[in-house]
Amino acid sequence: MFFPKKQDALVQALADTANAAVQGRSPWADARLRFGRNRAAFISLIVLLVITLACVVGPWVLPNAYDSADWDAMSLPPSLKNWHLFGTDEAGRDLLVRSLIGGRISLMVGVLATLASVTIGIAWGAVAGFIGGRVDSLMMRIVDMMYAIPYLLIAILMVTMLGRDFHLVVLTITVFSWMDMARVVRGQTLSLRSKEFVEAARAIGVPTWRIIFSHIVPNLLGIVVIYATVTVPGVILTESVLSFLGLGIQEPMTSWGVLIQDGAKAMEVTPWILLFPAGLLSVTLYCFNFIGDGLRDALDPKER
- 304 by DSSP, 3-state: which? coil
Please tell me what DSSP assigns to residue 246: T
Distances in whole angstroms, Cα of residue 151 to Cα of each of 119, 125, 280: 20, 21, 26
pTM of the model: 0.81
> Quick count: other Cβ atoms within 10 Å of Cβ 186?
22
> Quick count: other Cβ atoms within 10 Å of Cβ 222?
18
Average pLDDT over residues 242-270: 82
Please tell me what DSSP assigns to residue 88: B
pLDDT band for position 1 (50/70/90)? very low
pLDDT of residue 100: 94
pLDDT of residue 3: 45
Q: Tell whether the torsion through CA atoms of 214, 219, 225 and 228 is positive or negative.
A: negative
Exposed/middle/buried for 47, CB within 10 Å: 0-12, 13-18, 19+?
middle
pLDDT of residue 49: 95
Q: CA 56 to CA 69: how far, in whole Å?
A: 21
Alpha helices in the chain (DSSP H): 4-23, 27-37, 39-61, 95-131, 133-148, 151-162, 166-175, 179-192, 196-203, 208-211, 221-244, 256-265, 272-298
Exposed/middle/buried for 120, CB within 10 Å: 0-12, 13-18, 19+?
middle
Distances in whole angstroms, Cα of residue 172 to Cα of each of 112, 147, 229, 237: 12, 14, 20, 14
The CATH code for residues 28-67+84-303 is 1.10.3720.10
Of residues 7 and 68, more confidently modeled: 68
Torsion angle, CA of 241/244/249/252, rounded to 10 degrees? 160
Q: CA 263 to CA 88: how far, in whole Å?
A: 11
pLDDT of residue 197: 85
Q: CA 173 to CA 153: how far, in whole Å?
A: 12
Residues present in the chain in total: 304
Q: CA 181 to CA 185: how far, in whole Å?
A: 6
Torsion angle, CA of 42/184/111/229, rounded to 10 degrees? 10
* Whole-number percent of the chain with pLDDT over 90: 26
Of residues 99 and 238, more confidently modeled: 99
Instruction: Render pLDDT for 271-301 as a digit per residue (tens, 0 to 9).
Output: 888 999 999 999 999 999 899 888 888 776 5
What ranges make up the beta strands (E) of 83-146?
A: none
pLDDT of residue 29: 75
pLDDT of residue 18: 45
Instruction: Render pLDDT for 204-213 as a digit per residue (tens, 0 to 9).
Output: 888 888 888 8
Extract long-range pairs of 145-150: CB within 8 Å, 24+ residues apart. Answer: 146/176, 146/179, 147/179, 149/176
Q: Tell whether the torsion through CA atoms of 53, 58, 61 and 66 is positive or negative.
A: negative
Q: CA 166 to CA 183: how far, in whole Å?
A: 28
Which stretch of 20-24, 98-102, 180-184, 272-276 has the lowest confidence by average pLDDT?
20-24
Q: CA 243 to CA 212: how far, in whole Å?
A: 38
pLDDT of residue 266: 81
